[in-house]
Amino acid sequence: MQHKIKKIWAREILDSRGNPTVEVDLWLADANCQCACKGCDCSEGFGRAGVPSGASTGSHEAVELRDGSTSLATSSDKKRYGGKGVLKAVENVNKKIALKIKNKSFDQKSLDEFLIKLDGTKNKGNLGANAILGVSVAFAKAAAQVEGVPLYKYFKNISLATGKAKSQTPILPVPLMNILNGGAHAKDSTDIQEFMIAPIGAKNFKEAVQMGSEVFQNLKKILSEKGLATTVGDEGGFAPKLGSNEDAIQLIIEAIKKAGYKPGKDIALALDVAATELYENGKYNLKIENKILTSDQMIDMYESWIKKYPIISIEDGLAEDDWDGYQKLTKKLGQGPKGIQIMGDDLFVTNIERLRKGIERKVCNSILIKLNQIGTITETIEAVKMAHKAGYTAVISHRSGETEDSTIADFVVGLSAGQIKTGSVCRGERIAKYNQLIRIEEELENKAVYAGEKAFS
């Protein structure tokens, strides 16, 4: 369904790390505003989108335009917010994009294709993926209001319009909850970036959140009793200084048991290694353990952990361009009845071309989906569909620099993805996504199914 864009406006706001990011407001002309102002924020055709930002970013991601990193950056640009300002991206929305789309009609696909063409670069480096995504998501929210459907239903509808979706039954995702942070998200903690819990044994999403919260609170008690720090990293997980990466796994197992759950049956473990951050001169530097490992040795380490602990998923286990290593990793640990989820994030960066290459080379069996890595709703849906068609799982994800925008909660239900990564059960910008999923589950009542362990098949 096409909608006429009446007005669009972007601004610079702050993300969860206190850095600037882009927020976009968009009004549709076919809105049914009942107010005297005719077009205010209570209009049924209004959408607002906050754009997230990553810390450990893949080099193949779409360009996040920052004022201090452009070729025309002034000394003032480099000083303001440490060069991280996004006034140029904001200006691109308010002037270049607004000029071309105002008073014109689009559906989601035609708008996204128009924005890509307007940018004219392969990596969205002209207008900035942060500018383009803000417009794409704001339009989606406004269009859902005009069409009188919840946002998750809007995403399902446009997904069905471009081909059969994975499932006709609404699926509530298993949350991969990052309860212990390291790497680029929490310096001086662990080498591995994220240690997550997956409540696979929950009856529904609400219970999954409860289970995660109880484990999180028990982990806090355990850390405190051991004299370890209970401060949290960018995504809300604790960031204690530990003697080894395996210590983190053991602490989480202890917390699961203390909360009254069975590791592996009720709650499984998942890792985001972010191995690109560890990659130096062709090898992997585990500084906390003073070890330098090859790809084969990293794979052996993971295999030893899988034998000892209920690890169900490993994300970014190797560096973003270590394709040969990933082939070995996938073949050894990701295939067969005992195979686990081998997920590519920095490897694929939600990019259809890189995902296609991975499918052809039998690399990974899962892709992490981040909207701001690719820049539009349409391209993100295409990536999810390609993954599902190839038998890969698709995990919808936040970024470490987040806003209170909860779009990905609706997106994961609309695309029946079955898994979501949105941080710990701590910090408002993470909780916003969990709370929205609780509301969606309540609205769907018995029509929804909690993905559970099947989400990792």
End-to-end CA gap in the chain: 35
- 237 near 179, Cβ under 8 Å? yes
**Dist. CA 290–CA 138, nearest whole Å:** 47
Same domain for 336 and 245: yes
- 386 near 357, Cβ under 8 Å? no
Same domain for 121 and 200: no
Range list of H helices, 71-204: 75-79, 87-91, 98-101, 108-119, 129-147, 151-161
Same domain for 270 and 343: yes
The DSSP code sequence of 254-303 is HHHHHTT--BTTTBEEEEE--GGGGEETTEEEEGGGTEEE-HHHHHHHHH
pLDDT of residue 70: 83
pLDDT of residue 28: 97
Phi and psi for 331 in degrees, rounded to 5?
Answer: -65, -40
pLDDT of residue 165: 55
Same domain for 165 and 140: no
Same domain for 279 and 247: yes
Same domain for 336 and 290: yes
CA-wise closest residue to 169 among 453, 454, 444: 444
- Domain assignment of residue 137, yes or no: yes
Catalytic residue flag (residue 303) = no
Last residue of a domain, one of 84, 115, 148: 148
Last residue of a domain, one of 91, 114, 148: 148
- 28 near 45, Cβ under 8 Å? yes
- Domain assignment of residue 411, yes or no: yes
Q: Specify the CATH number for the domain of residue 61.
A: 3.30.390.10
Please state the domain count of the chain. 2
Q: Specify the CATH number for the domain of residue 226.
A: 3.20.20.120
- 101 near 10, Cβ under 8 Å? no
At 373, the amino acid letter reads Q
- Domain assignment of residue 77, yes or no: yes
Same domain for 28 and 109: yes
Same domain for 143 and 167: no
- Residue appearing with tokens 């701590």: 426
Q: Which domain holds residue 176?
A: 161-456
Same domain for 324 and 175: yes
- Domain assignment of residue 75, yes or no: yes
> In the numeric block, which tokens belong to residue 363?
């690399």
Residue 270 falls in which region: left (phi positive, over 0), alpha (psi -120 to 50) or beta: beta
List 84, 156, 370, 421, catalytic entry: 370
**Dist. CA 220–CA 80, nearest whole Å:** 37
Same domain for 167 and 124: no
- Domain assignment of residue 154, yes or no: no
Q: Give the tens place of pLDDT for each residue, 236-257.
A: 999 999 999 999 999 999 999 9
- Domain assignment of residue 215, yes or no: yes
- Domain assignment of residue 156, yes or no: no
> In the numeric block, which tokens belong to residue 140?
């989606």
**Given CA atoms 162, 167, 168, 170 in this order, what sign does their dihedral have?**
negative
- CA-CA distances (angstroms) from residue 340 to 41, 131, 168, 411? 46, 37, 26, 24
Neighbours of 38 (CB within 10 A): 11
The upper half-sphere exposure of residue 225, i.e. CA atoms within 13 Å in the direction of its Cβ, equals: 9
Kindly report the length of the chain: 457
Last residue of a domain, one of 148, 170, 203: 148
Q: What is the mean pLDDT of each run of 10 residues along the chain (457 residues)?
A: 97 97 95 52 81 76 91 91 96 98 98 98 95 98 97 96 68 97 75 96 98 98 97 93 95 98 98 95 93 97 98 97 96 94 96 96 97 95 97 96 97 97 96 98 94 94
pLDDT of residue 184: 66
pLDDT of residue 54: 79
Catalytic residue flag (residue 287) = no
- 22 near 10, Cβ under 8 Å? yes
Q: Give the tens place of pLDDT for each residue, 324-378.
A: 999 999 999 999 889 999 999 999 999 999 999 999 999 999 999 999 999 999 9
**Dist. CA 214–CA 187, nearest whole Å:** 26
> In the numeric block, which tokens belong to residue 200?
């696979």
List 235, 315, 379, 382, catalytic entry: 235
Phi and psi for 181 in degrees, rounded to 5?
Answer: -105, 150
Same domain for 174 and 240: yes
Residue 180's SS3 state is strand
Same domain for 121 and 245: no
Torsion of CA 307, 309, 314, 320, to 10 degrees: -70
pLDDT of residue 161: 80
- Domain assignment of residue 176, yes or no: yes
